[in-house]
């Protein structure tokens, strides 16, 4: 797949979450009813002073993915953008950002 200079922000639903990824390739898939997302864009590991846990989680989840085939009904939006922004994982119903790491529940006194 040739490297494209275009950059797309893709927002899709997966397992009750709304996920925002950046990719260089978006097209109709050869699989009927699917859209293919390829050349996912992440910051190089270790770049920058602060580690973004959301980006690390998505990088780990899609580390071996060459092309992501998404059912068309799960795609919320595809935008062609000028520059890459922050990746996000949100709750699909409330829109709140989901913590990328587990937090211990508050202790209750019974």
Q: What's the rounded mean pLDDT across residues 101-109? A: 62
Question: DSSP letter at 42?
Answer: -
Check residues 17 and 4 and name the one with the higher pLDDT. 17
List the structure tokens of 92: 């699909």
Check residues 101 and 96 and name the one with the higher pLDDT. 96
| Residue 3 burial (10 A CB sphere; 0-12, 13-18, 19+) | exposed
* 59-90 pLDDT per residue, tens: 889 999 999 999 999 999 999 999 998 888 88
């Amino acid at each position: 797949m040739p490297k494209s200079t275009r950059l797309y922000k893709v927002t899709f639903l997966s397992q009750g979450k709304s996920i925002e990824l950046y990719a260089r390739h978006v097209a109709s898939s050869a699989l009927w009813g699917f859209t293919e997302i390829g050349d996912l864009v992440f910051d190089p590991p270790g770049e920058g002073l602060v580690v973004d846990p959301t980006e690390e989680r998505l990088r780990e989840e899609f580390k071996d993915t060459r092309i992501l085939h998404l059912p068309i009904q799960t795609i919320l939006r595809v935008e062609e953008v000028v520059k890459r922004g922050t990746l996000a994982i949100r709750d699909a119903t409330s829109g709140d950002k989901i913590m990328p790491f587990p937090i211990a529940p508050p202790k209750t006194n019974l």
